[in-house]
């Protein structure tokens, strides 16, 4: 059902002992999909490699297993797509497409700064789904940095206001799983 997950990673494959800062019970509760039924959001924050996308995908797979529609898209792709629709004057139609999945996973918010048009398109998307459909968002930027990300502090707080009103925030502060072997081998301090 239109999922487009970048890979298949399950909660079973997630090693919670490597990331003791994550409360396993919270993730289990999210896996019940109550948040999707409530049109609430989940935000995974943290540096690269700590498992944000893995957890987002795993919850996406739980949603699919529960018969809920899921769509996964990296933020840069979303912006590109909405911008094209905007230029071709079919933004309303395109926006409605993004309202269809019960769960929209927006990956990697914060890797690229948004110009004013892009920032506005992201605001419109978040506003459209607000209290209508769930989102999972992953970001390497703390909320305090979103003003910079959006190039507009007022717009950033309008986005955050809607995004966070009904939300579960999972802050991951641990080490990169990608680098763990290298750390063991002493390549990194």
Binding interface with ligand ADP (CB under 6 A) = 9, 13-15, 18-19, 46, 48-54, 138, 177-178
Structure tokens at 148: 């910079």
In the complex, the smallest distance separating the C-beta of residue 2 from Mg ion, rounded to whole angstroms, is: 20
> Do residues 78 and 106 make contact, with C-beta atoms less than 8 angstroms apart?
yes
Q: Which is nearer to ligand ADP, 56 or 119 (CB)?
A: 56
Q: Which is nearer to ligand ADP, 6 or 151 (CB)?
A: 6
In the complex, the smallest distance separating the C-beta of residue 89 from Mg ion, rounded to whole angstroms, is: 33
User: Nearest 5°: CA angle at 72, between 78 and 122?
Assistant: 30
In the complex, the smallest distance separating the C-beta of residue 162 from ligand ADP, rounded to whole angstroms, is: 23
> Do residues 51 and 172 make contact, with C-beta atoms less than 8 angstroms apart?
yes
Q: How far is it, in rounded angstroms, from Cα 60 to Cα 33?
A: 10
Q: Which is nearer to Mg ion, 44 or 150 (CB)?
A: 44
Cβ-closest position to Mg ion? 53
Q: Which is nearer to ligand ADP, 107 or 152 (CB)?
A: 107
Residue 14 contact partner, candidates Mg ion, ligand ADP, none, CB within 5 to 8 A by sort of partner: ligand ADP
Structure tokens at 69: 């529609």
Residue 50 contact partner, candidates ligand ADP, Mg ion, none, CB within 5 to 8 A by sort of partner: ligand ADP
> Do residues 43 and 160 make contact, with C-beta atoms less than 8 angstroms apart?
no
**C-alpha torsion angle, residues 133, 23, 2, 162 (rounded to 10):** 20
Q: Which is nearer to ligand ADP, 52 or 129 (CB)?
A: 52
In the complex, the smallest distance separating the C-beta of residue 5 from ligand ADP, rounded to whole angstroms, is: 12
Contacts with Mg ion by CB under 5 A lie at 53
In the complex, the smallest distance separating the C-beta of residue 94 from ligand ADP, rounded to whole angstroms, is: 26
Q: How far is it, in rounded angstroms, from Cα 35 to Cα 51?
A: 20
Q: How far is it, in rounded angstroms, from Cα 23 to Cα 115?
A: 36
């Amino acid at each position: 059902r239109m999922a487009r997950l970048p890979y298949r990673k399950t909660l079973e494959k997630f090693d919670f002992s490597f990331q003791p800062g994550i409360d396993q019970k919270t993730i289990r509760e999210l896996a019940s999909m109550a948040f999707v039924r409530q049109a609430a959001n989940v935000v995974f924050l943290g540096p690269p490699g700590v498992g944000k996308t893995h957890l987002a995908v795993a919850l996406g797979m739980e949603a699919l297993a529960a018969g809920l529609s899921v769509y996964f898209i990296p933020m840069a792709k979303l912006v590109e797509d909405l911008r094209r629709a905007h230029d071709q004057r079919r933004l309303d139609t395109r926006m409605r497409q993004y309202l269809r999945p019960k769960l929209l996973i927006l990956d990697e918010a914060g890797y690229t700064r948004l110009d004013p048009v892009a920032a506005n398109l992201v605001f419109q998307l978040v506003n459209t789904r607000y209290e209508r459909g769930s989102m999972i968002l992953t970001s390497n930027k703390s909320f305090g940095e979103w003003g910079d990300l959006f190039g507009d502090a007022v717009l950033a707080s309008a986005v955050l206001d809607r995004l966070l009103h009904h939300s579960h925030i999972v802050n991951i502060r641990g080490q990169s799983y990608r680098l763990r072997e290298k750390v063991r081998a002493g390549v990194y301090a």
